[in-house]
Structure 1
């Protein structure tokens, strides 16, 4: 039938709905857009790539139900326990002059370990485990072997696991520690500020010293270096060589895009530093507004924690944040002249309490950053764990000596959370090993030799920090796996 004949049939049958539907179907068939036939949908059967013909197929499907029966109850409760395993049975044959070789290949596939891919004529591709393969040979069938196969749909070997989100535990302990340190600071300072403006001024002086350290840390040139270094691509990796005047590294292919990325990184850093500066001003104002009212003291404590959070946000990476806050956590106020008067004692108490609040807030910020820090190796995780716990131990001991029970207990819980987090994440990482070569070789060659993966050359460059990636040091530390 020609295409024109089909169009004529459509026009003639347009008077009835059924005629239109029938004509539309014929039109689609003529255009090759009609529904595929049954034969078009049947796929050649195979198991692990070994083809065979299928005469009959049978499948078992449904749900796994546990039937619960109870005394004096006419009905039962059927508990749905999930989808039942799909069971497939096929009856077919192998044919050809090489039927013996076909049979041997199918037997080898049947005896292969683990699940395999089955192409079912109508169900499509499935991953199954073969239960049985039966082969029947008859003398009067010649080069035809009858086969019967039974399969069960299979999945990956998975076991229930009870895992703890250790990073979330750290963040939760961080919040508790901030609340505890603020509460203890309130109890320490509330009575002292009643002594007069001199006590408040001493708090302001202590804060001013700490503000100067924060500004030095945030405005350090290293922050700009790290911001540019974080730019993806070759420029971010080797910009230090370009800045040093080395011409061994080619300029970026897209200079305009690189320039935009650099300007964006600088702008973001400038904005982050401005945010820190604004928060520092707010903290200084809150210190000057201290009174015996708990609201003013809590406002000051909150402003200190805001400064710590903004310092973390201004840092390019969690490691940069840890480095910056470590400097703030080592703050020591100037020693006051000996004064045994009530005013002198109150000034000393206010200064010590303020310095402790500033240090502890910074240490808690270090713990917060450690939850986002991703160590590269087992040794790196252990080193970071020791670094953070050393800072915590100093403040835990100090809180215990001052009788600050809430701060002491909160910092102990925070320490346990940090140790658990870095231990859990570090335990999954590879250890470091010493890589030694007789002569300098390219990073690509070493990556292929060590890991069978040239893409890890950048990782080796980061570990070894060579003069040029084509000339790696003859000895350096790298991941063992």
Structure 2
């Protein structure tokens, strides 16, 4: 039928609605725009490339449910175990003078191992495992072999994979490093304190210098700043100065104000705990004697200070910063004195400083395992920072012949590297975003990530004057 004939048919049937619909369908078909018929949607059936004719098909679909029945309860609890395996059955035939060759090909396909490709007339292409193939030959149907096939939809062969808890590895290595550091301290100080009160006083003086550093880092304004920044909502987002970027907000008693007071109170309590533990450490230093119990009590008090500093910091980044400063502690140089007392004082000072530094380094490594890097580059930078801290103490332990501490710190270094490498390897790298003119953060987020909800992420990274005018060049995640 030509296009003109279709148009003529439309004009003749214009008075009847049914005629119009019929003519419209014919017109769409002539233009190739009509809905495909059922027959047009069927696909030639085949299995592993061997074609056959389908007479009937059925399938079994649903969910895998486990029924749990309980005494004295009329209903059952149905536990959903996931989608059930799809089972498909086909009944058809092979036909032709070469029907024997077709049968042999289908048998070879059926006896091949692993899953194969099935083209179903209505379901399309599926990857299945053949359960059974039945071939029926009849004397009165010489050129036709009837077939029946049963399939189960198959997936890829996958096994559970082992995953390493790298955070637990860091914690375990940190615990071993702490024990080794305490053992070395006890070995060095046990003989030195026998020389008298001057040695104990030297330990106290060394601890006093470190206490000053700890108080400075724990009372830093940044800890309070970050604690408030963690409050949900716009107050935490912009630290209470602006409501979004629309201008100052009225300062009225709200739930946010209560949350701020609670955050400040919690931070104050945690800092008080640190100060209290510093007092306990100083008292333990003053009580040192040749009794191993007093030495062990002092070492435990040092590690308690580190634990409390970790708890007092608003986030792992603050803890790493604080503990890094504590780990860089260097006691004042003592006057040259080759006497027995002078040598003992120098040994006690060196052992005490080493214990203080190593405890802080180990605490920083534990904080790094809780640190959430924002990008691959951030994880690499954190890994380098932790390795630099550890390498200094590893070198010191090697020079002092402290083999157990050397090995423990080496193991801790390996655990930290593995942890940050594993977690950072899953993150996007940082790239430079450049635009010819300032554009809004929402537009950039849509352009870079196709996700406008990531505009806040760009704002944090670029620190613009206003989110509608982002800098023309700044660092951001590549993906």
Contact 1:206 1:351 in 2 (8 A): yes
User: After the TM superposition, which residues 36-435 of structure 1 pair with which residues of structure 2 at under 5 Å, given as runs?
Assistant: 87-89=87-89, 107=121, 109-111=123-125, 152-154=152-154, 158-239=158-239, 241-242=241-242, 248-249=246-247, 251=249, 256-435=254-433
What secondary structure sits across from 1:476 in the alignment? strand
What secondary structure sits across from 1:190 in the alignment? helix
Contact 2:241 2:249 in 1 (8 A): no
Name the CA shift for 1:371/1:108 in 2 (closer, same or farther; >3 Å): same
Match of 1:117 in 2: none
Give distance in 2, aligned partners of 1:251 and 1:91.
74
Give distance in 2, aligned partners of 1:412 and 1:163.
22
Q: CA deviation at 1:442?
A: 1.5
Match of 2:100 in 1: none
Give distance in 1, aligned partners of 2:170 and 2:250.
41
Q: CA deviation at 1:478?
A: 0.6
TM-score (norm 1): 0.70
What secondary structure sits across from 1:440 in the alignment? coil
What secondary structure sits across from 2:239 in the alignment? helix
Q: 1:439 aligns with which of 431, 437, 440?
A: 437
Give distance in 2, aligned partners of 1:131 and 1:234.
61
TM-score (norm 2): 0.70
Unaligned runs of 5+ in 2: 1-40, 43-54, 63-82, 93-118, 133-147
Q: 1:137-174, CA deviations, whole angstroms, 9 ceiling, x for partnerless residues?
A: xxxxxxxxxxx995525567744323211111111000
Give distance in 2, aligned partners of 1:58 and 1:225.
63
Q: CA deviation at 1:352?
A: 1.0
Give distance in 1, aligned partners of 2:326 and 2:299.
16
Contact 1:234 1:252 in 2 (8 A): no
Q: 1:417-473, CA deviations, whole angstroms, 9 ceiling, x for partnerless residues?
A: 111111111111111111011111121111111111111111111111222222211
Q: 1:6-38, CA deviations, whole angstroms, 9 ceiling, x for partnerless residues?
A: xxxxxxxxxxxxxxxxxxxxxxxxxxxxxxxxx
Contact 2:235 2:241 in 1 (8 A): no
- Give the CA RMSD over aligned residues: 3.3
Aligned length, in residue pairs: 367
What secondary structure sits across from 1:308 in the alignment? helix
Match of 1:124 in 2: none
Name the CA shift for 1:131/1:265 in 2 (closer, same or farther; >3 Å): farther
What secondary structure sits across from 1:89 in the alignment? strand
Give distance in 2, aligned partners of 1:463 and 1:57.
57
Match of 2:140 in 1: none
Name the CA shift for 1:281/1:447 in 2 (closer, same or farther; >3 Å): same
Contact 2:230 2:236 in 1 (8 A): yes
Q: CA deviation at 1:223?
A: 1.1
Unaligned runs of 5+ in 1: 1-48, 62-82, 93-104, 115-127, 133-147
Contact 1:312 1:369 in 2 (8 A): yes
Q: 1:77-130, CA deviations, whole angstroms, 9 ceiling, x for partnerless residues?
A: xxxxxx9956343789xxxxxxxxxxxx9847413x67xxxxxxxxxxxxx999
Contact 2:193 2:290 in 1 (8 A): yes
Q: CA deviation at 1:295?
A: 1.0
What secondary structure sits across from 1:280 in the alignment? helix
